[in-house]
Each structure stands twice: as C-alpha cells, then as structure tokens.
Amino acid sequence: MQYTFPNYYKEFSCIAGACPDTCCAGWQIVIDDQTLKKYQHFKGPFRNRLHNDIDWKQHVFRQYNRRCAFLNEENLCDIYTEAGPEMFCRTCRNYPRHIEEFEDVREVTLSVSCPEVARILMNKKEPVHFLTYETDEEEDYEDFDPFLYSKLLDARDVMIEILQDREKKLNLRAALILAIARDLQECIDEEDIFSMDDVFDYYQAEEGVREVKNALAEVDYYTSVSYTHLTLPDEEDS
C-alpha cells in the first residue's frame, strides 16, 4: 500500500480552545457504528449525558444552537475531558485529516476548512510537494479502472504545475484549472478517455492560455460596464 501526504502534514496539531473557529458547530457530526457501540456500553457518571445527547436513530450528536451538545463554552469537547480521547468517534478523531482510497493507494490530506491548516498552508513560501511511503498491505477493488486513474493522476500533475507557476497571475491559474476540469469531465462523460491528453496539451500551450486570458478579459469588461452604468437611489433623486 502506498501512502501519500503533503510535506506540511506533520506540522498540524489541533489548537483546541485557541482556535478562532470550531469544527464542532454548523454541521451534523456522524458517529461510526463501532464508536456507537462504545457509547452504548460506557460506564461512569458521564453515561447519562452521553446517552441523552446522541440521536441514536440518525447516528449523530445532538445540537443546540447549531453547536455540538458536547462543545462547552471554552470551545473544548466534554467527551475528551470527561471520557478521554479514545472515546472520540472516527469523524472527530480524523478531522481535518481526509483520506481518499484507491486500489493500493491512500492519499492523506488536511482540509483547509480548518483555520489552523489554512494558516500553515498560506504561510508557506516554497511550493508544496508530496511525500510517500509504502507498506506490505494490499487491497483489490472490483470496479477499479486503472487507465482512468492514471489519467486523473496525470491531470493532477498538470494542474499542480499550473498552480505553482508564479509567472502567471492567480486568477489566470485558477481559470485554467477550471477550464481543464470542465473539458476533462466532458471526456469522461463521453467515455473518450484518450482525448484527455489533448486537453492537457492544449491548456499548457500558448493557444489555450490565450483563450482563457481572453475569457477573463471579457468577464472583467462586462463587470466594469455593469458597475459603470449602475445608478444608485440617491443619484436618481438628484
């Protein structure tokens, strides 16, 4: 099994109550079956609260004012303090770590929805690169398409190369990525995987870059025209 992760991965550590936001509010936190069983058999004074503040039908923690029932006023988790970190569900244990699984490949990333991850990433001066290591594990997927997978890996390499090209403005780099993604999706929808190479070549060549530049310029023009002819209420009265 091959594991891949960004070079800044090990720099991350949850800053808990010092975080300017919290990952325990605003969304339903799903509890995996294994952890639910641990909660069902938990003993001790925390048992009643644990049982009362879980929606056992939906397999989620209850919320109050869109905050997890176990999130206290200091933005710390009462499950952690009262029962221990081993009682975290899989979601709380892993976030902001995210794992994509492919045949014999695990790609581990950090979600930039976490403020601390975003801070680490945005403070990087050098281009991000990825590290890999391998284990003896093996796994087969019945519906795995190795050819499509290899083309998607090629697509990602092309996109990263474009994103790290500091000679291009950021809006141009972003627009190129969107254009590539759009055209690649058309190839996949039409089951024309071989044409994906043509997409790579086109947007890495001057012709493709020029097309995207022109599209951006057109958007900028119509945006400026719209604002130029915008009439404010007080202007109508004068």
Residues sharing a CB contact under 8 Å with residue 139, sequence separation 6 or more, in sequence order = 1, 103, 104
For the chain, give the number of residues.
Answer: 238
- Average pLDDT of the residues of the chain: 90
User: Would the pTM of this model clear 0.95, i.e. be above it?
Assistant: no
pLDDT of residue 36: 96
pLDDT of residue 235: 47
Share of the chain above pLDDT 70, in %: 92
pLDDT, tens digit (0-9, with 9 covering 90-100), for 152-199 = 999 999 999 999 999 999 999 999 999 999 999 999 999 999 999 999
Cross-strand partners of 30: 60
Residue 148 has pLDDT above 80, yes or no: yes
| Residue 219 DSSP SS3 | helix
- Residue 120 and residue 12 in contact, taking contact as beta carbons nearer than 8 Å: yes
Q: What is the distance between the alpha carbons of residues 80 and 78, in angstroms, rounded to a whole number?
A: 5
pLDDT, tens digit (0-9, with 9 covering 90-100), for 16-36 = 889 999 999 999 999 999 999
| Residue 134 DSSP SS3 | strand
Q: What is the distance between the alpha carbons of residues 68 and 174, in angstroms, rounded to a whole number?
A: 35
Q: Which residue, 204, 206, 22, is CA-closest to 114?
A: 22
Share of the chain above pLDDT 90, in %: 79
pLDDT, tens digit (0-9, with 9 covering 90-100), for 98-119 = 999 888 899 999 999 999 999 9
Q: What is the distance between the alpha carbons of residues 222 and 37, in angstroms, rounded to a whole number?
A: 58
